[in-house]
Amino acid sequence: MNNGGVVKQHQKHLTLKVESTAANKGFSSIEFHPEGFIAAGTNWGSIVIWNKLSEIELKKSDRDRIIKNEHSKDCHLTLWNKDGTMLLSASFDGTAKVWPWNSVNFDANRTMSSIFIFDGELGRV
């Protein structure tokens, strides 16, 4: 992903754009955090998390997003819990992962690791 995500704020909607290749065709899921962060599952198994819109520098900065390459297949679900302290990701690789989330310090999340992994041997999660 060259230059990763580009975020542009328009009057009443938001456009998320990622450069695509034959291998990575886009997003499978997009989820908004209660405080404005955005998490997206990708067709290539990554989770991309953007900073709050109010904090984003609209100049394609790597500082405004976190990319976690944690699934080997399409990440078809990203979901925040109600208070925004956990993020769930689920993939067609048969795994679901739970991630802790620090809403106060975006950069602290760069080194986050999943705290729970469900490995479903029956296929889809």
Summarised one tens digit per residue, pLDDT across range 4-23 is: 444 444 444 555 555 555 45
pLDDT tens-place string over residues 78-111: 999 999 999 999 999 999 999 999 998 988 999 8
Diameter of the chain measured on Cα atoms = 45
Residue 124 lies in a domain: no
Residue 70 lies in a domain: yes
* CATH code for the domain of 66: 2.130.10.10
Q: Which domain covers residue 13, as residue numbers?
A: 5-119
What is the per-residue pLDDT for 119?
A: 83
Q: Please state the domain count of the chain.
A: 1
User: C-alpha distances in angstroms, 39 versus 22, 120, 121, 122, 123?
Assistant: 22, 23, 26, 26, 24
Residue 37 lies in a domain: yes
Residue 125 lies in a domain: no
